[in-house]
Structure formats: C-alpha cells, structure tokens
Amino acid sequence: MTVLVFGQTGQVARELAARGGVRCLGRDAADLSDPGACAAAIREAAPRAVINAAAYTGVDKAEEEEALANVVNGDAPGAMAAECAALGIPLVHISTDYVFDGSGAAPWRPEDATGPLGAYGRTKLAGERAVTGAGGGHVVLRTSWVVSAHGSNFVKTMLRLGRERDALRIVADQVGGPTPARAIAAACLEIAGQLARDPGKSGVHHFAGTPDVSWAGFAREIFAKAGIACDVADIPSADYPTPAQRPLNSRLDCTGLETVFGITRPDWRAGLRDILKDLGEIA
C-alpha cells in the first residue's frame, strides 16, 4: 500500500520513512502553512492512504503565533481530510493529549470533554474537529510524550544534562505515558491499512506508552539505563514556569484502539532501550 506522509524531519515521520513503503513530504513539497498545497499534493500523489505526521509543535511559541499554529494544526489537516474524503482514501491524523485540561488522575478517554490550556492545544483541537467533520475515513490518534533517537526530545535532553550536572530538579506532578515514535509509526501504518479495508473503523483513539510515569520518574529510568550518575529531585510544575501551561494529567485510556484495531500500548521502557542503543549509549 502506497502511503503519503506529511512530515519528513519529525520524530514519527523519520520512523515511518525507516519502515519503507511510504513517501514523506517535507516543507519544500507541502508546506502546512498553505493548506491548498497540501490538498494538491494528495491529488497529485493519488495514494492509498495519508498519514499526517507534521504539525506546529512549539508549545510555548504558539502562545505568540497562534494564528500561524492554527493554519498548520487546524486548517491544513482540514484540507487534507476534505481531499482524502473526496478521493475515498483514509487519513490518519496524529494529535495530542494537550487537547485536555489535565485535571484529575483518571486516564482520559477519547469521548471525554476537551479543554485545552493553551494555544497549541486549541489549534490541535481545531485540526481534530476539521478531520472528523470532513466525512471521510479517518482516525485521529492522540498520543503523548513522544521520544526517539531523532530530533529534540526529553530523552536526548536528559542524556545531555545528566552528563553535565551532578543533580537535576525535574517536574514530578505531570504524569503521562512516554511514547516511542517507532511504535507510533507502526500503529499509524496498521491503522491506515485497516481503514483502507474498513472505513467504518473511523474515529478518535488514544495511543501512549505504558506504564504511566512522571517526568522525574522517567528521568531516573533514563539515567539508570544509560549508566549516568545524576540525582533527580522532584519539583512541582509551579517551580518550573513556562509561557504555556502544561497539563498535569496526561494519562490516556487506550483500550479503544486495542478493541477496534488490535493495537496494544507499547512498553516505553523497552522503547527506551532501543533508543539508547540507536544513540550508542548502550550495547
């Protein structure tokens, strides 16, 4: 199955490219700030399925550039979804736990009320609504805390800081499921294949790593597996202010994805080992 992927340098896009059988479009071929160009790229490629792995991901910067973020995260996916619906091909669109307000401690279900805390979450929610409203075969796949050996992410930041410092103060009141980009890529391809055969499986689903953990707990596991002697002190989010507020509860209920598509949550600890191997940190 020929799959067209929006995104080329992001974590999930690079893992999709590594699996083969896909065509990844970078910004030069399809700039998401031009939704019409995205629709045109789909018409030209005539793929069997489309995966949108591109987005405006600057959570803090989106507070200043919400209009641009809304075009990239909202309007462009809507244009993709409309074109896919017109051509009768499925779209898998990657979204985020930031569409929720992070309250409570229960895992968020796909049907729970949304309530984004900032511009990034609002623009991603706009994209979800545009995709689901287009009328074609689709899955909106919300995920969280994406990590890989590529680009900038928490694992790579901790490896760098852990070697530079004897101790770090890490937020401990934000809890979620770190999700290996490699697992997201595999899930997207599986969903795309099943949707092509059965568009009736369309809907919103969650996919995140297990077990749930705090950022501080995640950092400790990174240091332990990489053999880095760096102490971690737990701090509340209030002690690490950022322009955009982060959700405290990023736990995601992923049972629907397993029921409909047979895809289970990945163990992020195994994924972390793979990432450390890819980075040459462990044998």
Phi, psi of 144 (to 5 degrees): -150, 155
Q: What is the full DSSP assignment across 188-201?
A: HHHHHHHHHH-GGG
What are the catalytic residues? 120
Close Cβ partners of 41 (under 8 Å, ≥ 6 residues apart): 4, 6, 25, 29, 30
CA distance 191 to 193: 5
Q: HSE (CB half, 13 Å, CA atoms) of 136?
A: 27
CA distances from 25 to 13, 47, 51, 120, 164 (A): 9, 13, 11, 23, 37
**Rounded Cα gap, residues 246 and 116, in angstroms:** 9
Who's near 225: CB < 8 A, 6+ residues apart? 269, 272, 273, 276, 281, 282
Distance between CA atoms of residues 176 and 207, nearest Å: 11
DSSP label at residue 28: T
